[in-house]
Amino acid sequence: QVQLVESGGGLAQPGGSLKLSCAASGSIFGLIAMGWSRQGPGKQRELVAAITSGGSTNYGNSVKGRFSISRDNAKNTVYLQMNSLKPEDTAVYYCNARGDQSGYVVDYWGQGTQVTVSS
């Protein structure tokens, strides 16, 4: 029943910005965290950013100082503001939500959205 719908991906120039949105529908019980990961060409999937239910954030080393994650609890939406984009940021970006359902950790994933950084 839980669906994560991503938007905001596309093409940006190096040094540019994009803002990704991930809207969650359905009930995510015992929400632990929401976040973003990405997988670039020839790369393993890596953590981009995450925000816990308590508001703590963490970022992958490659995006620290450039990307910011935030949440709008009223809209059940998580955002990823991406600034100072580099070609190496080119990847499919996936939204993730993690919940604790009576002691069972469950991960929900969006369909992924392509971000391409190129001049």
Higher pLDDT, 1 or 7: 7
Mean pLDDT computed over 52-63: 95
Can you give the pLDDT at residue 40? Answer: 97
* Strand partners for 118: none
Is residue 107 scored above 90 in pLDDT? yes
Confidence of residue 101 (pLDDT cuts 50, 70, 90): confident
CA distances from 11 to 15, 42, 79 (A): 12, 19, 17
Can you give the pLDDT at residue 16? Answer: 98
Is residue 114 scored above 90 in pLDDT? yes
Main-chain dihedrals φ then ψ at residue 90, nearest 5 degrees: -60, 125
Closest C-alpha among 7, 88, 81, 8 to residue 40? 88
Is residue 116 scored above 90 in pLDDT? yes
Can you give the pLDDT at residue 48? Answer: 98
pLDDT digit string, tens, across residues 3-32? 999 999 999 999 999 999 999 998 778 889
Question: What's the one-letter identity of residue 35?
Answer: G
pLDDT digit string, tens, across residues 59-92? 999 999 999 999 998 888 999 999 999 999 999 9
